[in-house]
A = this chain, B = another copy of it.
Amino acid sequence: MIRHTVVFALRHAHGSLQEKAFLRDAATTLADIPGVQKFEVLRQVSKKNDYRFGFSMEFADQKAYDGYDRHPRHVDFVQDRWNREVDRFLEIDYEPA
């Protein structure tokens, strides 16, 4: 199992319609790409960093992760939405120790 997470902040005002639309569209677009399990849209609530949201998803193995990464719906979402609407982010991926 690989858990892929990304913590991020948007360029949109907090609480804006654009913010809601981004989170909703990400879930709609990405959650049912083949291989994606346990897709979660999360609020980042620690005051010890300045990110606002997170996505978390799990893949059975690296092959499933790679399939997601190059899936046209993911590639297009990164190009058309992520790169334009996200201000800063950090990707963190986990496997059981």
Contact = CB atoms under 8 A, between A and B. Distances in A.
Contact of A95 (B23, B43, B49, B56): B43
Contact of A53 (B40, B44, B97): B97
Copies, count: 2
Contacts of A53: 97
28 contacts: A2-B45, A3-B42, A4-B46, A23-B97, A40-B94, A40-B96, A41-B96, A41-B97, A42-B94, A42-B95, A42-B97, A43-B94, A43-B95, A43-B96, A43-B97, A44-B92, A45-B93, A45-B94, A45-B95, A46-B93, A48-B91, A49-B90, A49-B92, A51-B92, A53-B97, A56-B94, A90-B90, A92-B92
